[in-house]
Each structure stands twice: as C-alpha cells, then as structure tokens.
C-alpha cells in the first residue's frame, strides 16, 4: 500500500475552517487527539500537520498494525490500540480532542449510543472537544434497515455489503442530537451534509461539542 491518504472533507472543514455557526477552540499544538475508528488512517497526516499527539482506536488488531506500517514511512508517530466506541482503552480525562469520522455511531450488541457518548466523555478532559459525523435515516447504508429502539437501526441492505447486521444510531433531527448529547456535553454546533455519489446518497450530521466542565 502506498501513502495516498486523503482526509475526510468534513474533518478538514471542521478542524481548520472558519464558520460563523461553529464553536471550536483550535489550540492544537502539543495537545492529545484521539482518532476514534481511524479506519485506513486517512486523517492521520492531517492531524500530524496540526501538531497534535496522535492516538487511535480500532476494533481489529490487524487494522492497527496495517495502519502503523502504512504511516511509518511518512514519520507519523501514533499510538494505535484495539478498542470499541464504548470501551476506549485510555485513562480518564486523557484527551484534549476526540474526532470520530464515520465511526462513533456504530453500536455494539446489547449497548446503546449513549454508552458510546459516555465513554468518549470519560476519556476527554473537562472542556475537551468532540467532533463526530452521524448518519441520518436517508443515508443509503440505512435503506430498509430494521428499526430498533431510540433511533437505533440494524443494517440489512448496505450497498457495499460490508455492514449488514451491524447497529447504527441515526438521529432524525437536530433536536434529537441536542437531547442525546446534553447529558455529557455543551457548546454544541451542528452541520448537515448531503452528497449523491453516483446514485448512493451519503447524508447526515456533523456534531461539534465540548465535554462539560465539572
């Protein structure tokens, strides 16, 4: 594999852009950032350029090793560990930023999205920032999904054939996001995205919020 890693557009816009309706303190140099569900590592070069200490979590050890090998030639130093959205293998109040690019809405069997939010809050420092993308029910991955309680859905017809059987949390409105996040977070900003990629609709929300100061 080469080093052709291209960051998600919403991550670039959120972490580096300037928008009047977005609240986010961009004090990155030397801060600790968790890439929760880093996938193929596409956002790691961007985070390196921001000057943060990079950490990551993925549920598969082979993925962690593959990405470590992939980014090492570029001099990207990162601590990548095996974990899940609701069981993040880092200490309490460890991170200044957590970024979840198309990841935190994956819910483990027998758990809920609220469990994910609580563990993200646990590893964030008070006043730390959380940036996450969330699908909406129109997203093509959720076509014909089985409805479960509290906006949880079990995927049955993923057009890419990768996620069938998994559970997503897909909010139906901004107000539902506010209600879900209010327990652990404040300073909530919300944006929407809606992209038609050759007949496959990718749509949802971007939420930016701060762990409550306690």
Its pTM stands at 0.96
Decide if pLDDT at 2 tops 70: no
pLDDT by residue (tens digit) across 67-103?
A: 999 999 989 999 999 999 999 999 999 999 999 999 9
Residue 1 has a pLDDT of 42
Is there a domain that residue 143 lies in?
A: no
3-class state of residue 198 by DSSP: coil
Is there a domain that residue 164 lies in?
A: no
Structural domain that includes position 104: 9-17+27-137+171-211
Decide if pLDDT at 25 tops 70: yes
| Max CA distance (Å), the chain | 46
Spatial distance between the Cα atoms of 14 and 34, rounded to a whole number of angstroms: 15
Residue 3 has a pLDDT of 59
Average pLDDT (166-195) is 97
Give me the number of domains the chain comprises.
1
Length of the chain as a residue count = 214
């Amino acid at each position: 594999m080469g080093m052709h890693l291209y960051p998600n557009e919403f991550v670039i816009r959120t972490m580096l852009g300037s928008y009047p309706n977005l609240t986010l303190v961009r004090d990155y140099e030397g801060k600790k950032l968790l890439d929760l569900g880093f996938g193929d590592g596409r956002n790691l070069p961007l985070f390196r350029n921001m000057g943060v200490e990079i950490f990551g979590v993925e549920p598969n050890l082979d993925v962690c090793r593959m990405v470590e090998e992939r980014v090492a030639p570029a001099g990207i130093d990162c601590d990548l560990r095996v974990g899940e959205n609701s069981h993040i293998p880092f200490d309490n109040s460890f991170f200044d930023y957590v970024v979840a690019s198309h990841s935190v809405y994956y819910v483990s069997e027998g758990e809920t999205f609220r469990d994910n939010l609580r563990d993200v809050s646990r590893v964030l420092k008070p006043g730390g920032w959380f940036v996450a993308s969330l699908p909406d029910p129109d997203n093509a991955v959720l076509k014909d999904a089985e409805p479960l309680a509290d906006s949880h859905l079990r995927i049955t017809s993923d057009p890419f054939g990768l996620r069938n059987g998994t559970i997503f949390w897909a909010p139906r409105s901004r107000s539902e996001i506010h209600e879900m996040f209010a327990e652990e977070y404040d300073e909530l900003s919300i944006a929407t995205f809606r992209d038609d990629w050759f007949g496959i609709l990718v749509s949802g929300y971007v939420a930016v919020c701060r762990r409550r100061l306690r």
